[in-house]
Every structure is written in structure tokens, then in C-alpha cells.
Chains A and B, each alone.
Chain A
Amino acid sequence: MTALTMVRQFGEVLLAIAIAPLFTGWIAQCRAWLQSRAAPPLTQPYRMLRKLFQKDVALATHASALFRMTPYILFGAMVLVAAIIPSIATDLPFARVADAIALIGLFATARVFLSLAAMDIGTAFGSMGARRDMMIGFLAEPALLMVLFNAFLLSGSTALPSVVEASTAHSFLMDPSLLFAAVAFLMVLLAENARIPIDNPATHLELTMIHEAMALEYSARHLALVEWASDLKLFNYACIGFALFLPWGIATHGADGGLALGLAVAVLLAKLTVAGAALALIESLSAKLRIFRAPEYLAMAFLLAVLGLLVHLLLGA
């Protein structure tokens, strides 16, 4: 039984690592269609990764060990997050180890290391990007915590598998408070993954860039790992969203035979397809905010999540 759950766990992690670039590629493709450009092929992110892995690393002379270690730490943190989130089945050994608050801690660890590495070289762009990312991060984190508290309050547990099992067991109808939390979560997702209202993922050469400014000094396999980690981060955020708000199809404890697992994978792929198209649509419809509007945007996400808590407490479940 334990061997089986371990196999399931590793299968889940490998699947996450394998399809995370595909998800990013799918969003890029949808965006290209919406802007009536010729779309890049779905495999574009994989080709990019392969190209980067084959190149030689160019390091700055003053780069410290921290700079070289950071891509591995980033990638490792994101893989660990992917192992904790119940994206396919809830009965996972890793999922029981850490709750969702530890998950946010892992995201924060990755952010701190990337920011430190960006400042390590000492270029203007790197430290500017790092400062901006820390600003976005410290505003987005409380909002994300509030969103999670909404779900915790409903299920009475801070572990994501319990949240999923509680919400699939009760009813298929969304609780009113989760509606507010879902909107707030979407806003946090866009901000945290350097997507359009806050940052533009499609450009390298802009004074307003955040994520790209931090990765500017990386090359070859280091850059490949940083990019792969950011793909995984987006994939992980999407999976957290599914676990909190659209938990149907995830194989719950006791009902996770081969058939149920296959179905769960199919449902996950379907959800990712729809979510990717929706993200591309939102990004195409909205304009990038000035950086000084970002605190207002994230404060709104926080307030919406608090409103969700209020509605839950005052409306009485």
C-alpha cells in the first residue's frame, strides 16, 4: 500500500514537471490567436529548454556561489510544492507532511533566493527587478493567505487534501464566500506569476519588467532551470486554484483505483486547457498597470478575500 502511494506520488510530480512548460506554451498560443498573430507551436517551451541546456554557461566574474545555486533551489522548491498540492489524488504521502501555509513559505523561499541572486551580480536591472518583486510579493502574500483562510474555514483544516475531500463530499455548489476568494485568488495568481496587469511575460527589453529583469544575468542551464521553475510556479498556482475552487475529478481517499486516477489526469488536463484559455483571454483584455497602481490592485485582492470571510461569518453557512 505504501509502495503504491509512493508510485502515485512520483507519478504526480513527474507529470507536473513534464506538462508545466506545455501549460505555458498553451497560454502563449492562445494569446497569439487572440492577437491574430501566427501562434508558436505548443512544443516551443520544450525546444527553448533543450536549446538552453545544450549551451555553455556564461557567468559574471563576481558571481558568488549563491548565484549558481539559486536555479537549483528554485527548481527544487517548485517541485516540492508540486508534490504537496493534491492535483490528481488526495492520498499522497507528501501532501500530509506540509499544509498550505508551509506551501506559501516555500513560494517565499524561492522568491527570496531569486531576489538575492538578482542583486548578487550588482547590475541596475537586477536589483531593480528584485526590489519590485519583493514589493509585489509582500503585498500578494497576505492576500493569498486570506484566500486560503476562506477555504480553511469551510473545511476546518489547513491541509489541502482535507480541503479537497471536504468540498467534494459536501455538495457540488460553490459556497458564496468562495466566490469572493476565487476572484481574489485570480488577481494574486496574475500578480505572482508576472502576468499582464502587473508584469508582461512576453518582453525582455522594458524598463517596467520584473521577473525578466531578475533572470537577465542567467544563461544556459541556469536560465533553463529558472524558466522551468517559473512555468512550474504557474502550473502550481493553477493546481492550488483547482484544489480550492474546482475540486471535481480529483481522486479522493478510498476511491483512487487505476480508473479513477486516469480519469483524474484527464480532468486535470481538461481544466488546464480551459484555465489556460481563460488566462490568455484575461491577459489580452486587460492593460498593464503602472507599477504604482500595483499596491492598489493587490489591496483590492486582499479586501475581496476579507469580504469572503465576512460573508461566510455573517451569512451563516
Chain B
Amino acid sequence: MHPSHLTAALLKLLAASLLLISFAMLSRRRTQRLITLFAWQGAVLFMSTLLVAHSAGLRELYYSAALTLLLKVIALPWILHRLIHRLGAQWDSETLVNIPTTMLVGLGLVIFAFGLAHPISRMATTITRNTIGIALAIIFLAFLMMITRRKAVTQVIGFLAMENGLFFAATSATYGMPMVIELGIALDLLVGFFILGIFFFQIREQFDSLDLSNMEALKED
């Protein structure tokens, strides 16, 4: 088998596993499992970036792969674990819509994403062009997770998963963004994450829970 064919097939497999992990995240109720899945998603993303970097021969992509490994597989999951232990929020995360319905909506979103990506992927010239649809689907699914969850922590995990999808879209459509932008995004993500972490404690102090539906009511006093 030709090596580039092998790379393309392997990349498709990794893209499919990313999509699978996204669906698994959509179906999980427990916050702790969500964080584990998020770390796995980061690991698969790291492997796919490494693969694209190797096949395209781009040094910059190796750096962003290393950044992915450090930030999304090791640092963020570790911080999230500590955070939910401190908050005592590891158990329940009630969904607004029941899970089979969410999965059905997710299925519709996947079809929509593939339809949307079809014209783009026909124009692209990279070996990874087939996976643009999957990258878009991952972004949509993360959006869906943010919409259907009630707790602040799970919404933040959805936000991080969405960034994973965006990153994968960037590598699959254009072999990654310039290094400066990538570093900027990584820094933004980290800072945004820290601010949200502080917010968690503020929210809990105000309402005695992390349920965001409390914030919909206006406070009088």
C-alpha cells in the first residue's frame, strides 16, 4: 500500500474516533467521565496532528502537537479534576433534554455538517480534506453539549471540546494555522479557563449550586 494512502486511511480512522468520543461525551451524565473523555479527545487530536505534521513535513505542526499534548491531555484535565473535587461537583450533571433525543439531534447535526463541508472539501487540496466534515460535526456536537447541559462545569468542558474541533478543522483544512495565532489561541484558552474557574466559585457562593438556571431569575435586593 502506498504510504500516503495509508496516512489518509489512518487519519480517517482517527477522525472517526474523535467523532465517536464526541458522541460519548454527549451521552455521559457524570462530570468525571466527561473529563476523562475530554483528555482522550486531546490525545487523539495529538496523534492526528503528529500524523499530519509527519506526512506534510511541517515543523510548526510538531510544535502545535506538543502544545496539544501539554495543554489538552495533561494540564487542563488535571486542573478540571482538581476543580470539581474542590467544588464537589463530580457526580450529577442533569441534562435539559433526555439523552436519546440529544443523540438523535446529534445525528442530524452530523448530516448537516457533512452537507455543509462538502463544497469546501471538494476545493481543498490537502490529503486531509475528507475530514473537514467530521471536524465541523465535532464543533456542532460540542455546541449541542453546551446547550443541553445545565451545570457550569459541563458547559466549560463543552467549550473546550469545541476548541478541539476548531483545532482539528484547522489542521484538516489548511495544515494548521500560523504559529503565532496558535500560541495566541492556546494562551486565550488557558486564561479563559482560569477566569471561568474563578467564576465557578463565585457562582457557587451566590447561589449555593452550579446550576445555571438559577441565573435566569433576577435578584431583587
> Which residue numbers of A lie inside 8 Å of B, CB to CB?
171, 173-177, 179-180, 183, 296, 299-300, 303-304, 306-307, 310-311, 314-316
Contacts and interface: CB of A to CB of B under 8 A. Distances in A.
A316 to B, nearest CB: 7
Interface of B: 1, 6, 9-10, 12-13, 15-17, 19-20, 23, 27, 98-100, 103-104, 107, 110-111, 114, 130, 133-134
B107 A296 contact: no
A316 B107 contact: no
B107 A306 contact: yes
A315 B133 contact: yes
B100 A179 contact: no
Contacts of A175: 13
B3 to A, nearest CB: 13
A176 B23 contact: no
Contacts of B98: 296
B38 to A, nearest CB: 18
A307 B23 contact: yes
Contact of B16 (A171, A176, A299, A316): A176
B23 A304 contact: yes
B13 A179 contact: yes
Contacts of B16: 176-177, 179-180, 311, 315
B99 A296 contact: yes
Contacts of B99: 296, 300
A81 to B, nearest CB: 29
A303 B23 CA distance: 10
A303 B110 CA distance: 12
A183 to B, nearest CB: 7
Contacts of A306: 107
Given A314-B110, A315-B16, 11 more contacts: A171-B1, A176-B13, A179-B13, A183-B20, A296-B98, A300-B27, A300-B100, A300-B103, A303-B103, A311-B19, A314-B133
A303 B13 contact: no
22 contacts: A171-B9, A173-B10, A176-B13, A177-B16, A179-B13, A296-B99, A296-B100, A300-B27, A300-B100, A303-B100, A303-B103, A303-B104, A303-B107, A306-B107, A307-B19, A307-B110, A310-B107, A310-B111, A311-B16, A311-B19, A314-B111, A315-B133
Contacts of A183: 20
Contacts of A316: 130
Q: Top 10 A-B pairs ranked by shortest CB distance?
A: A176-B16, A314-B114, A299-B100, A176-B12, A303-B103, A179-B16, A173-B9, A176-B13, A296-B100, A315-B130
A316 B104 CA distance: 22
B23 A315 contact: no
A296 B20 CA distance: 17
A221 B103 CA distance: 46
Nearest to A170: B1
A176 B103 contact: no
A111 B68 CA distance: 49
Contact of B15 (A173, A176, A299): A176
A51 B20 CA distance: 46
Nearest to B14: A176
Given A176-B16, A304-B23, A314-B114, A299 B9 contact: no
A269 B23 CA distance: 33
A179 to B, nearest CB: 5
A179 B111 contact: no
A306 B9 CA distance: 21
Nearest to A174: B13
Contact of B13 (A173, A299, A304, A314): A173
Contacts of B27: 300
A300 to B, nearest CB: 6
Contacts of B20: 179-180, 183, 304
A304 B12 CA distance: 17
Contacts of B17: 179
